[in-house]
Structure 1
Amino acid sequence: MVESRITVGDCRTRILEVPGSGPLVLLLHGFADSADTWRELLAELARRGHRAVAIDLPGFGRASAVGRVDLLAEYDEFVTAALVSLRRADDAPAVLVGNSMGATVALRAAGDRPDVAAVVALAPAGLGFHPVLHKASNALDTLVPVLRVAYHVPYPAIGVRVAVAGYYRARLAPGLRNAWRFGSHFHGMADFRRVGALGRRLMAEVQAGCLDFGAMSAPVTLIWGSADPVCDVAGASTLLDAVPGSRLVMLHGSGHLPQIDATVAVADVLDGVVEQLAD
């Protein structure tokens, strides 16, 4: 696995890449996450001979900050520019794979375009959250004055990273190994403040409606963990009813990050998608 820095449009970012054949598989992480979330899946895809790249989205990981008011529109442009940068001249259209926020971005690219052959969306945030998450979001809004004070407490970076890693292990991906990696891009409470502000912007965009099912023409596969505590699989039916040929794969016992706690199963699905494109 090769880690490198590249420039995509106006954004300086980082990629993790494994060599292989077939269409490029571009992996888009979720909110407050990074390309590191895909390390286990990248290793599995490499063993199966797929060329795959995970990329830090603007505002997260080691990428440059976001610059626009409309986050999802900025990510749309970023993904298009990333495909221009990463696809070879003779490449077939890519397979976009996303998790949570990244899955929403991937679904927004499922229209009639020559650079995307198929989309695989793991627990896409754009199809609805569990009610408990809405309650938590509303509760945070009432705590803004308190949080403004907490954000300025000089907690050591290691403490912040341990807290983030613990949340990943306890809440998002049961049985997570190397949990420390998932907090490695948090350097202190200032990052929590920045991420919190981005989260409120993103939630507003998602709740306003961010997916156009009528425009989706690329094959769409949804993957959902049965134990996902964040995104509600009940919202999948709207897309499945509206997008011909779309399908849902349920992974029993998996949480919000199937790429981590059901790596082989996700790779099996991707195998099938790539094989179908080759037929």
Structure 2
Amino acid sequence: MTASKRPAPAVRSGRTSSEPDPIRVSFRRFAGVRTRVFEVGPPVVEAPKRSRKHPADKPRGPRLVLLHGYCDSADTWRPVLRELAAEGIAAVAVDLPGFGDAQPLRPGPMLPQLDAFAAGVVREQAVLGPVVLAGNSLGGTLSLRAAQNTRLPVIGVVSIAAPGFVDSWLVRTVARNPLPLRLYSALPLPVPGFVVRAVAEQVVPRLLYADSGTADAGQVRRFTTLFPDYRATTTRLEQARQLVTELADAYELDRVRVPLLVVACGKDKLVTSAAGRRLHTLVPHSRLLVREDWGHCPQLDDPPEIAELLTFFAAGAVRAGGTKPAAPPAAATAEDTAAG
């Protein structure tokens, strides 16, 4: 009998544990903010200088820039980045200021700071190829705001569960009823850290996933580290309330001229699918994909599908040259409702 070597177990993304991680990690500065950057795709090799007579050809492959949501980090895109790496697609994901390993936000309005940061990422990537922005939740908002800025070299946007249109009762409560926040902050004794973390471990999967039973334990632990104690939780709640207030005047959608794909999720407990439908009506040339089986963070629910969606959309945006609406994947018509 000849013994054969057992294959290494596969991790969730389909990559075996013995294979090297294709995600390259670095730290860079955008708009003066030092942050962590995840990158996949062929490494960038500096081309030799050409004369004016024979200028260098501009690269045509799309560059995907992935932006995460509030109280999240670039780690949320890791499963999608691995899928994109397997297809040779160039993409970067960054920690937004105030989250992950990025430097904190400064006092004052949050959205202008985040806009400046996102613009810095876009301009850096645009040197390497046509930029397609994709954002989830707050990242979806920043992607839309970048598309409103006609001076930014963005050729297409995918907005996933962007808030500020038709939000859930939970988001509306944070914005309009500060009483629960005041009561929490005024407790005579701070809630012990282990209690805060235990509650977060139960709440986070229910808010972010379509089915909390399928939540990845590592991703849940990552989210709960954002709420280590009573003081940190209070700060995050205050920050969330400020952000929701700023969303009231966040959009000038008549300025969006590039192809836009709106993704709405039927099991989203934070931003209802009605929000995606409203955004679609406000940007007439946009395309809408409704997935009834996805939650607030579909990049965690279904990384392969999100990676395929982004790949097809980016290819269409490049063909369109950023001047007219790009057709989404075959599965997504002007409005496609799918159960999975």
Q: What TM-score, normalized to structure 2?
A: 0.73
Instruction: Report the more deviating stretch, 184-193 or 226-235.
Output: 184-193
Q: C-alpha distance in 2, partners of 1:18/1:39?
A: 10
Q: C-alpha distance in 1, partners of 2:173/2:183?
A: 18
Q: C-alpha distance in 2, partners of 1:234/1:251?
A: 12
Q: C-alpha distance in 1, partners of 2:72/2:152?
A: 28
Per the alignment, do residues 223 and 14 of structure 1 end up closer, same or farther by CA in structure 2, a change over 3 Å counting? same
Q: 1:37 aligns with which of 59, 63, 76?
A: 76
Show the counterpart of 2:182. Answer: 144
Show the counterpart of 1:96. Answer: 133
Give the residue type in structure 1 aligned to 2:155.
A
Q: CA deviation at 1:93?
A: 2.7
Show the counterpart of 1:126. Answer: 164
Instruction: Report the more deviating stretch, 135-144 or 11-20.
Output: 135-144
Contact 1:151/1:189, CA 8 A, preserved across alignment: no
Which structure is higher in helix share? 1
For residues 194-247 of structure 1, what are the alpha-carbon distances to aligned partners after superposition, in whole Å with 9 as ceiling and x for unaligned? 2111101111111x2311111001111111221111112223333323324201
Secondary structure (helix, strand or coil) at the match of 1:120 reads: strand
For residues 159-208 of structure 1, what are the alpha-carbon distances to aligned partners after superposition, in whole Å with 9 as ceiling and x for unaligned? 655543432222311212122233344443332122111101111111x2
Per the alignment, do residues 193 and 258 of structure 1 end up closer, same or farther by CA in structure 2, a change over 3 Å counting? same
Per the alignment, do residues 136 and 58 of structure 1 end up closer, same or farther by CA in structure 2, a change over 3 Å counting? closer
Q: C-alpha distance in 2, partners of 1:151/1:75?
A: 34
Greater radius of gyration (CA): 2
Show the counterpart of 1:107. Answer: 144
- Displaced runs of 4 or more, over 6 A: none
Over the matched positions of the two proteins, sequence identity in percent amounts to 31
Per the alignment, do residues 260 and 146 of structure 1 end up closer, same or farther by CA in structure 2, a change over 3 Å counting? closer
Per the alignment, do residues 166 and 6 of structure 1 end up closer, same or farther by CA in structure 2, a change over 3 Å counting? farther
Give the residue type in structure 1 aligned to 2:307.
A
Superposition RMSD in Å:
2.3
Per the alignment, do residues 141 and 2 of structure 1 end up closer, same or farther by CA in structure 2, a change over 3 Å counting? farther
- Pair 1:73-2:112 in alignment: yes
Per the alignment, do residues 77 and 114 of structure 1 end up closer, same or farther by CA in structure 2, a change over 3 Å counting? closer
Q: CA deviation at 1:71?
A: 1.1
Q: 2:99 aligns with which of 49, 53, 60?
A: 60
- Pair 1:24-2:63 in alignment: yes
- Pair 1:192-2:233 in alignment: yes
Show the counterpart of 2:328. Answer: none
Secondary structure (helix, strand or coil) at the match of 1:253 reads: coil
- Pair 1:210-2:232 in alignment: no
Q: C-alpha distance in 2, partners of 1:80/1:205?
A: 19
Q: 1:171 aligns with which of 207, 210, 214?
A: 207
Greater relative CO (CA pairs within 8 A, separation 6+): 1
Instruction: Report the more deviating stretch, 125-134 or 59-68.
Output: 125-134
Give the residue type in structure 2 aligned to 1:130.
S
Contact 1:119/1:219, CA 8 A, preserved across alignment: yes
Give the residue type in structure 1 aligned to 2:233.
F
Long gaps (5+) in structure 1: none
Per the alignment, do residues 17 and 211 of structure 1 end up closer, same or farther by CA in structure 2, a change over 3 Å counting? same
Per the alignment, do residues 213 and 136 of structure 1 end up closer, same or farther by CA in structure 2, a change over 3 Å counting? closer
Give the residue type in structure 1 aligned to 2:37.
I
Contact 2:130/2:318, CA 8 A, preserved across alignment: no
Q: CA deviation at 1:15?
A: 1.6
Show the counterpart of 1:249. Answer: 289
- Pair 1:14-2:36 in alignment: yes
Q: C-alpha distance in 1, partners of 2:261/2:305?
A: 13
Secondary structure (helix, strand or coil) at the match of 2:132 reads: strand
Q: C-alpha distance in 1, partners of 2:67/2:260?
A: 15
Contact 1:151/1:190, CA 8 A, preserved across alignment: no
Per the alignment, do residues 61 and 67 of structure 1 end up closer, same or farther by CA in structure 2, a change over 3 Å counting? same
Q: C-alpha distance in 2, partners of 1:145/1:244?
A: 43
Report matched runs for 1:230-245 at 5 Å.
230-245=270-285
Show the counterpart of 2:298. Answer: 258
